[in-house]
Amino acid sequence: MRNLQGRLDLCSINTATLGHREPISLTIDRIARAGFGGIAPWRREIEGADVAQIARQIKALGLSVSGYCRSTALPAATAAEFNANIEANRAALRDAATLGAQCFVIVTGGLPAQSRDLLGARSQVVEGMAMLLDTARDCGVPLAIEPLHPMYAADRAVVNTLAQALDICRAVDAENTGYLGVAIDAYHCWWDPALAAAIETAGRENRILAFHVCDWLRDTRDMLLDRGMMGDGVIDLPSLRRSVESAGYDGHVEVEIFSAQDWWQRDPDQVLATCAERLQSHC
């Protein structure tokens, strides 16, 4: 496993960690000034802005883009809506290319409104990924399917384990062209008894495109917005990182913390300083 001491260049900050409270240009400056090597911006910060200018700023400050967040949900109630979702993702992929993103993060989407058809939603995901793969190749930006914790199966993602995400990769991209893989997020995957085996498989199949860290608080108060800072919860992050890196992953360790009541209330530079310290001491 890599030693992260003094190696913030190996670490990245997902901009959600700062709560999207400031303009992206300021966020980019803060992350670069704090010494990190990477940034993962969100579409809400990029779309409607001068994407090329943002890309130039990121590059000028020496940051890599460890990922671009994130896809429009795929499953839809109607064919027209499904096609609109595909087109929205194609547009986002073009922005990801402009940014030089190392991957486009796919959060697949949950059940369409009023639907109880979980299998149908999952098959729409497979169909949608197949449609997006060509665009990803054209743009030179790989798609990283991020399985989400099963508590989000209804409203955010019907892909809930790493093994399931890998099955989709194989179904859609059997020849493994390098444009379809997975994002492993500690928050979503830590509980999975099959995780170690799935990480090994993902590595062997060369599919690990991103690694996200935060912590799971034992007394979690909110399903979405109460992620913990690394070291404050129950996840054995060093063991997890060892598994991911032993499987061959050598990309950024990306911090991604949604924390409405805690970290998003704090001074952004203090949050970044704490991330830096915990990455080196608890990951």
Write out the residues near Zn ion by the rule CB under 5 A: 185, 212, 256
Residue 176: phi and psi, rounded to 5, are 50, 75
**Smaller CB distance to Zn ion: residue 179 or 211?**
211
Query: For residues 230 and 155, what is the distance between their CA atoms, to the nearest angstrom?
Result: 26
Contacts 24+ apart (CB under 8 A), 263-267: 263/17, 263/19, 263/229, 264/18, 264/19, 264/21
Closer to Zn ion by Cβ: residue 82 or 109: 109
How far apart CA 230 and CA 9 sit, in angstroms, is 18
- The least distance separating Zn ion from the CB of residue 219, rounded to whole angstroms, comes to 21
What is the closest distance, in whole angstroms, from the C-beta atom of residue 117 to Zn ion in the complex?
Answer: 26
Helix (H, G, I), strand (E, B) or coil at 40: strand
Of 76 and 202, CB closest to Zn ion = 202
Nearer CB in complex with Zn ion: 45/185: 185
Residues composing the chain: 283
Rank residues 122 and 149 by Cβ distance to Zn ion and give the closer one: 149
CB of 207 to Zn ion, least distance (A): 16
Nearer to Zn ion among residue 182 and residue 272 (C-beta): 182
The closest alpha carbon to 28, from 17, 16, 39, belongs to: 39
Q: Are the beta carbons of 243 and 196 closer than 8 angstroms?
A: yes
Q: Which residue(s) pair with 215 in the sheet?
A: 228
Nearest-approach distance from CB 282 to Zn ion, in angstroms: 18
Instruction: Name the minimum Å distance from CB 185 to Zn ion.
Output: 4
In angstroms, give the least distance from the CB of 69 to Zn ion: 8
Backbone angles phi, psi at 193, to 5 degrees: -65, -20
